[in-house]
Structure 1
Amino acid sequence: MDVAAEDGRDERTSPGSLPVTDGRRVPTGPERTDPTTTDPTTTDRPTRSGPLRALALAWPALLGYAAVRAVGLVVLGIWAEARGLSFDALLTDRYDSRWYLQIATLGYDRAENLHSNMAFFPLYPGLVAFFGDSWAMDLRQAAITVSWVAALAAAWGLFAIGNHLQDRRTGVLLAVLWGVVPHAVVENLAYTEAIFTAFAAWALYAVLTERWLTAGVLCLIGGLTRPTASSLVAVVGLAALVALIRRRGPWWRPLVAMLLAPLGWLAFVAWVADRTGRADGWFLIQGKGWNSSFDGGAFTWSRTGDVLDHPSRLAHYLVVLVLLTALTLFVLSIMDRQPWPLLLYSGLLLVTTIGAAGYYHSKGRFLLPAFALLLPVAGALAGARRGRAYPVLILLTAISAYCGGYLMLVWTSSP
């Protein structure tokens, strides 16, 4: 996803200068210089020199991300074989994956009962159907291909943000860390977390670099991926409004972005309303059909107390760990003075995840798109002496690989 500049402004950083982001200068210091290169322009925005230059900068992030996810998948494959289970079926035939493949095969139902597949947004199953029908692959292969390509696109977007805000090494580590979180196995399943994260990362990168048309288009498409895209819509829309008020650059670009941002999300909700004959059709299906509603966090607080006060499954302890870690990282993100669009995006995802009633075991998965929360960790590892990050990443890779196997082979519900 190349987000080339729209207004032709010169955004180059002279050697030794401080990069400007969100209206403030971010200190980098000598320790932020990537020791693998002597070219002072390697921390420039990667898309300034075109796709090939961007790929040349990002390849360590893509390779590192692919490597840690390969370890997780190999462990899962060996574990599955020991249990006599099909590795391919694990990736495409579990819970939400079945619903997406059903939509790709048969389309949406008529909501004869409220447990309807119209709870699921259309972009991912639509892409699966397109590639499954038009290319030399079946639907299962298409589902995995879309997810894996989207995961690499997401890792690239994470690198772009980390490189833009701090330096190349931080961008690489941010992408790799996203691949070793406890629920990272979902990034390789026939689920929508990977594709939404890809659109969110590049849309937010476009916001940070003031490429408003790109941000609006990416947010529009991302709004068709999953319900939590509402967090991205709010951030892109508000950032465009702020830019419009401040009159920075051509005024019509942020205006168009602000108008485009919510269209994908609203279009699907409106389509469901028309199909069900009720203005609140999608919300009714989501609430009464799928037992998913917003209660401000009462359910999450109650279930967390139960988990900590009674013997529980590892999956529930993982959720507690992820939620507490996410809240801590959000505080650190505030202390690090992250650009407000990233803070707002992370905060809204935390609110929608913690505030939602139901599906406690999936809350760790719901936070996978909250990648900006990993920036404090990526920055700390990038600032450490060379070589010290490797033992940490190896440990996290091993833990993530086990958690992925556990969630797919031991845990009996959706990851």
Structure 2
Amino acid sequence: MTRPGAQPVAQRSDRWYGAAVAGVFAVLVVVLSTVVALASRHQVRHDPELTGPSWLDGWYQYDAGWYLEIVRAGYSYAPGQQSPVAFFPAYPLGVRGFGELLGDHQVAGQLLSVLCGLVAVVLFALWTRRRLPRRTAVVAVAVLLLYPYAFFLYGPMYADALFLLSAIGAFVLLERRWYLAAGIVGAVATAGRPVGVAVAVGLVVRTLEILAEDRRAARPGDLAADDPPVAGAGGAPPVWPGWRDLVAAVRDVRLRHVGVLASGLGLAGWCLYLWLEFGNPLAFVEVESAPGWNQGVGPRTWFKVVYAGTLIKGPYDIALLLTLQALACLCAVLLLRRVQRLFGWGYAAYAAVVLLIPIIGTKDFMGAGRYVLVAFPVMAAAGSFLADRQRRWVVPVTLVVSAALLVVLTYLFGRGVAVS
């Protein structure tokens, strides 16, 4: 009998595990911040708006300038030109509120990224621990922590860490059957980045999947004798409902389940603001094709004409950085089947939509490394793939190579090189 006030063993174990992962994350923050400080030590501050410690300035690159402008001056829109409306509001709103407490928006933006990254990684660790064997779960966490583009979780004034946190958080709440709470957290994701629509899609599919699983569990007598084992019984992989089961589950939807649709309110609210303020609810799409970004919709973007030209004509250092991101996308796509087999259709739908956006919507894969980063089920599937290799050297060699790339890309980012 457990004495009053005592915690279950599993809960205490989760706390220790989460604390260990948080400790590793903190070490990486220190190491990579040092790398960035060394990379930017000879750079002179040109932006009078940077009021934080100078050793943080290396984390302040590219999109960070747009976010800081939004925080301090709000949104503006110039048709046909690069404009702040390309950047969704969840992160700059968080930075503005946090900055009022700290008195420095630059520090607030970078600290918010670190805190969100920390919580996101811990949630990911606990999520994988409940779904994968112990060693596999540890490898999956290592894959996320050492992923070459994971430095966006460790300090830059970018929205990726907040998005990853809101995406994982929404699914964790959904697994607890807190449908409305999952939808509300999902709305932070859809208000955070254009790819946030993947969270809404994934939540809806996963909700139908949960209903189909509940229906199957309630009628075990309907299962044929030769049906495969369910939920990993006897060491077999989980058996997820088929698409016909998902369609049939629609009839089981009740009012409480509709709460996940609240995840679309973030995007809807952003479009409504753009319509009322600037008369164009899709202004963020329009400005992507502006000179300098050149991410317009059409065959030139879909078929990566610019990327092909860079591969042929150079500059070849840029071609190498773009190819690394293209390879990250390719590996992620190849892992989608494993995502579905391990975690079900809802997580596969989320990951597929996350990956589809950079594959279809970028002219040269620039930024694709960050999109793969937030496809957290893919990271877990990658850990599973590595842990299943019979040659035990595969895991350490892969992680060492990934860590080396992480350090190199962090250094280049601190030097002002566009690496993603």
- Range class of TM-score, shorter chain: 0.7 to 0.9
Equivalent pair of 1:329/1:376 in contact (CA under 8 Å): no
Question: Residue type of the partner of 2:296?
Answer: S
Q: CA deviation at 1:140?
A: 0.9
Q: How does 1:6-21 map to 2 (within 5 A)?
A: none
Partner residue in 2 for 1:89? 57
Specify which of 400, 403, 415 is matched with residue 394 of structure 1: 400
Give distance in 2, aligned partners of 1:95 and 1:66.
Answer: 24
Partner residue in 2 for 1:306? 309
Q: CA deviation at 1:224?
A: 1.4
TM-score scaled by length of structure 1: 0.77
Please state whether the residue corresponding to 1:81 is helix, strand or coil: coil
Partner residue in 2 for 1:32? none
Change (3 A) 1:84 1:229: same
Question: Residue type of the partner of 2:122?
Answer: W
Give distance in 2, aligned partners of 1:83 and 1:130.
Answer: 29
Give distance in 2, aligned partners of 1:372 and 1:240.
Answer: 17
Partner residue in 2 for 1:128? 95
Q: CA deviation at 1:202?
A: 1.9
Higher gyration radius (CA): 2
- CA offset digits 1:194-220 (Å, max 9, x no partner): 110111122223344544233212101
Give distance in 1, aligned partners of 2:359 and 2:381.
Answer: 21
Change (3 A) 1:235 1:297: farther
Question: Residue type of the partner of 2:271?
Answer: V
Q: How does 1:7-86 map to 2 (within 5 A)?
A: 42=10, 49=11, 54-81=14-41, 86=54
Partner residue in 2 for 1:376? 381
Unaligned runs of 5+ in 1: 1-39, 43-48
Equivalent pair of 1:72/1:404 in contact (CA under 8 Å): yes
Q: CA deviation at 1:186?
A: 2.3
Give distance in 1, aligned partners of 2:252 and 2:32.
Answer: 45
Give distance in 1, aligned partners of 2:280 and 2:91.
Answer: 25
Q: Which moved more, 1:342-351 or 1:376-385?
A: 376-385
Equivalent pair of 1:220/1:261 in contact (CA under 8 Å): yes
Q: CA deviation at 1:149?
A: 0.3
Please state whether the residue corresponding to 1:375 is helix, strand or coil: helix
Give distance in 1, aligned partners of 2:299 and 2:162.
Answer: 27
Q: CA deviation at 1:248?
A: 10
Please state whether the residue corresponding to 2:75 is helix, strand or coil: coil
Change (3 A) 1:292 1:310: closer
Please state whether the residue corresponding to 1:109 is helix, strand or coil: coil
Partner residue in 1 for 2:272? 270
Partner residue in 2 for 1:254? 257
Give distance in 2, aligned partners of 1:275 and 1:241.
Answer: 37
Give distance in 2, aligned partners of 1:201 and 1:297.
Answer: 34
Question: Residue type of the partner of 2:136?
Answer: T
Is the counterpart of residue 284 in structure 1 residue 290 in structure 2?
no
Specify which of 105, 128, 133 is matched with residue 72 of structure 2: 105
Equivalent pair of 2:206/2:345 in contact (CA under 8 Å): no
Change (3 A) 1:198 1:115: same
Specify which of 358, 361, 366 is matched with residue 356 of structure 1: 361
Change (3 A) 1:78 1:373: same
Specify which of 317, 323, 346 is matched with residue 320 of structure 1: 323
Equivalent pair of 1:173/1:378 in contact (CA under 8 Å): yes
Identical counterparts, % of pairs: 21
- CA offset digits 1:149-185 (Å, max 9, x no partner): 0111111222122112213443343333223222222
Please state whether the residue corresponding to 2:304 is helix, strand or coil: helix
Is the counterpart of residue 228 in structure 1 residue 163 in structure 2?
no
Q: How does 1:335-346 map to 2 (within 5 A)?
A: 335=338, 337-338=341-342, 339-346=344-351
Partner residue in 2 for 1:13? none
Equivalent pair of 1:72/1:402 in contact (CA under 8 Å): no
Give distance in 2, aligned partners of 1:316 and 1:164.
Answer: 40
Give distance in 2, aligned partners of 1:61 and 1:250.
Answer: 37
Equivalent pair of 1:350/1:367 in contact (CA under 8 Å): yes
Give distance in 2, aligned partners of 1:143 and 1:313.
Answer: 33
Give distance in 2, aligned partners of 1:388 and 1:63.
Answer: 25
Q: Which moved more, 1:203-212 or 1:227-236?
A: 203-212
Equivalent pair of 1:235/1:341 in contact (CA under 8 Å): yes
Question: Residue type of the partner of 1:148?
Answer: V
Give distance in 2, aligned partners of 1:286 and 1:174.
Answer: 34
What value does the CA root-mean-square deviation take over the aligned residues?
3.2
Aligned residues: 364
